Amino acid sequence: MAKTIKVRARAKDGVVTVKMLISHPMESGRRKNKKTGKLIPAHFIQEVVTEHNGNKVLVANWSGAISKNPYLSFKFKGGAAGDSLKISWVDNQGKSDSTTAKIK
């Protein structure tokens, strides 16, 4: 599977800012195909987890209400340049992806 997560993480004064972009169709299951008129099946990310040096710093539970190719930004304390982050997601069809990044 091609990597679907792009991440940037920067530390400043003990606070880490994480910005990520996830490539995913994020279908709610309520939209119709314009040609056939049939509903497009639901296909959305259910959970996003970010770990800093093995400790969870973010767990986000999502639904079909999140837009296509979601962007997520958050901050946490206690990280430093060179520390590692692991970001992973799982969708409602059982597909998943993860990546690691170093804090700059």
| pLDDT at site 60 | 97
What number of other Cβ atoms are within 10 A of residue 55's Cβ?
A: 9
| pLDDT at site 38 | 96
Sheet holding 15-22, edge to edge: 5-12, 15-22, 71-77
Question: What single-letter amino acid sits at 78?
Answer: G
pLDDT tens profile 21-76: 999 999 999 999 999 999 999 999 999 999 999 999 999 999 999 999 999 999 99
Say yes or no to pLDDT of 103 above 50: yes
Ordered by start, the domain boundaries in the chain are 5-28+38-102
CA distances from residue 2 to 37, 39, 84 in whole angstroms, order as listed: 31, 27, 21
Say yes or no to pLDDT of 1 above 70: no
pLDDT tens profile 65-76: 999 999 999 999
pLDDT tens profile 78-97: 999 999 999 999 999 999 99
Say yes or no to pLDDT of 2 above 70: no
In the chain, which ranges are E strands?
5-12, 15-22, 45-52, 55-61, 71-77, 84-91, 96-102
- The residue written with tokens 């994480």 in the block is 18
Superfamily, domain 5-28+38-102: Immunoglobulins (2.60.40.10)
